[in-house]
Amino acid sequence: MIKDGLDKLLVCPSCKSKLKKESASYSCLDTRCSATYPIVHGVPVFIDERNSTFRLSDYTAQGDGRHGNASSLRKKIRAITPRISANLVARRNFAEFARLLLNETASPLVLIVGGAEIGAGLKELLENERLLFLETDVAIGTRTKIVCDATYLPFRDQSVDGVIAQAVLEYIPDLERSVGEIYRVLKTDGLVYSEMPFMQDVHGGRYDFTRLTHLGHRRLFRRFAEISSGACAGPATALAWSIQYFLLALGPAPLRDPIKFMTGASLFWLKYFDYVLAQTPAGLDAATGTYLLARKSNAVMTDRQLVDSYRGAVPRSGII
């Protein structure tokens, strides 16, 4: 976590002007904007109601800002429910992410978008004492240091060395703008690591908007130079997800948790097939989710280059 100098990184998320910190809020110094952002339980809430899908009252009315907290019993049930999915690549990719950053900077600053809780494979990276972390989210979770909408990041241009957006971009209505914000806050040659779902059902309710193929994910970050990309998990995990949601569609709402427990207990073994299947061209075409590790670049990938980079199983003659 970054402690010292945080205020120097902050700007108004709406107009990017300087901020003034007060006892219980931050205020934009641009009189044309004059936005005010509250501090709730020590956490600054940089939500601009004029643009965001969230409201400040989401954080101030109940006093904790935690969206959709599960009951204690539900948390216990979820903790003992076998998982039908597994991220096969996150630990390896985060190790490479750290290696590349530390090759260039002694103490790189990493912005985590959607960092209210520890993501898959992220624990070892967070324990690396040579890295500084700034964890943000739209919810005040166990690790949230700043609440902000990823479409309007409250940080100066070129202020961070790396950005992690793990399984979070699907919840953002305007993906192009959000990735533009990531590009803006990254320093020259800064790194981004992104994971996005493809063959997954809706799991974020009314805040769940987007699924992307491997090429769709790559196009979203076309202003970045790819280092590596591929499937986080493959068709076996996608099959388990589909069976679970088939049963959820049949059952009434009160049975959602029992159905999830039953499918977890009976289908958890399917994901192990993805250690092989996710590495195949057809497995990439049917990936549960994909990842991209890339570097900020001045060049823009063209759509022709994008099409030529296809690594799936469909022959070139299969479309045209």
d(CA 133, CA 277): 34
pLDDT at position 283 is 97
Within a domain: residue 293?
A: yes
pLDDT at position 247 is 96
Contact (CB, 8 A) for 214 and 290: yes
Task: Please enumerate, as own/partner, the contacts of 265-272 that have beta carbons within 8 Å and a separation of 24 or more.
Answer: 265/81, 265/82, 267/84, 267/240, 267/243, 268/82, 268/83, 268/84, 268/240, 270/84, 270/236, 270/237, 270/239, 270/240, 271/83, 271/84, 271/85, 271/86, 271/233, 271/236, 271/237, 271/240, 272/86, 272/236
Within a domain: residue 292?
A: yes
* Distant-in-sequence, close-in-space partners of 2: CB < 8 Å, separation ≥ 6: 9, 109, 132, 133, 134, 145
pLDDT at position 116 is 86
Within a domain: residue 9?
A: no
- Tokens for 77, please give them: 């049930």
Within a domain: residue 184?
A: yes
Q: How many domains does the chain have?
A: 1
pLDDT at position 134 is 96
Query: Which domain, by its residues, includes 164?
Result: 72-313
With 0.95 as the threshold, say if the pTM is over it. no
pLDDT at position 317 is 67
d(CA 183, CA 90): 22
pLDDT at position 68 is 46
b/e string for 93-105 if b means 16 or more Cβ within 10 A?
Answer: bbebbbebbeeeb
pLDDT at position 49 is 87
Q: Tokens 């974020």 — which residue?
A: 204
pLDDT (tens, 9 = 90+) of the chain, 320 residues, equals 555 678 899 999 999 999 999 999 999 999 999 999 999 999 999 998 888 889 888 888 754 444 445 566 666 767 777 889 999 999 999 999 999 999 999 999 999 999 888 889 999 999 999 999 999 999 998 899 999 999 999 999 999 999 999 999 999 999 999 999 999 999 999 999 999 999 999 988 999 999 999 999 999 999 999 999 999 999 999 999 999 999 999 989 889 989 999 999 999 999 999 999 999 999 999 999 999 999 999 999 999 999 999 999 998 765 55
Within a domain: residue 307?
A: yes
CATH number of the domain encompassing residue 78: 3.40.50.150
